[in-house]
A = this chain, B = another copy of it.
Amino acid sequence: MADDVRVLDRLLEITVLLNKDMTHALGEIGLTTARTHLLWELHRLGQSTQQTLATALAVSARNVTGLVDALESTGFVSRRPHPSDRRATLVGLTELGVETMTRMRRERDQLAQQLVAGLGASEVERLAKGLDAVAARLRDLATAERGDQAAS
């Protein structure tokens, strides 16, 4: 098999395996990937309106309502009225939410180490650079597609 196809094949395999690993781990603490994605953004952005979250997640406002409903009822986030805009709602991490994010960051670092266990430091660096290049190409392709769409 040609090396370029091998790269894509491995990436697709890793996609599936990573997804399974994470879904499994999250299931044990009552989270799903979509909800966790929202938690990460909230952790990154700090307290935010649902609109902001919808934009950050590139997802519909309705979708955010559902995710926040679920996360609120399981105690990871809380809603409070926006102080100056009475249309808006501010969503923030609860204590449980913050703890969970802290633990997940640690687990992410652990997984990151495990993934490259057995590779030397210089190999890891090369791998990171290779993946940077691939990610950049993919971003370009996405941009080009959006351009096509706009033109049509």
List chain A positions with a Cβ less than 8 A from chain B: 2-8, 10-15, 17-21, 24, 108-109, 111-119, 121, 123-128, 130-135, 137-139, 141-142, 145
A141 to B109, CA, bound (A): 15
A30 to B114, CA, bound (A): 39
Within the oligomer, what is the number of copies of this chain?
2
Which of B4, B118, B121 contacts A3 (CB under 8 A)?
A: B121
**Do the beta carbons of A116 and B7 come within 8 Å of each other?**
yes
**Do the beta carbons of A130 and B130 come within 8 Å of each other?**
yes
**Do the beta carbons of B142 and A115 come within 8 Å of each other?**
no
**Do the beta carbons of B138 and A4 come within 8 Å of each other?**
no
**Do the beta carbons of B135 and A8 come within 8 Å of each other?**
no
* Residue numbers in B under 8 Å from A13 (CB-CB): 135
* Residue numbers in B under 8 Å from A117 (CB-CB): 137
Q: Quote the shortest CB–CB distance from A131 to chain B (angstroms).
A: 4
**Do the beta carbons of B15 and A109 come within 8 Å of each other?**
no
* Residue numbers in B under 8 Å from A19 (CB-CB): 15
**Do the beta carbons of A138 and B125 come within 8 Å of each other?**
no
Q: Quote the shortest CB–CB distance from A129 to chain B (angstroms).
A: 9
**Do the beta carbons of B112 and A5 come within 8 Å of each other?**
yes
A90 to B119, CA, bound (A): 45
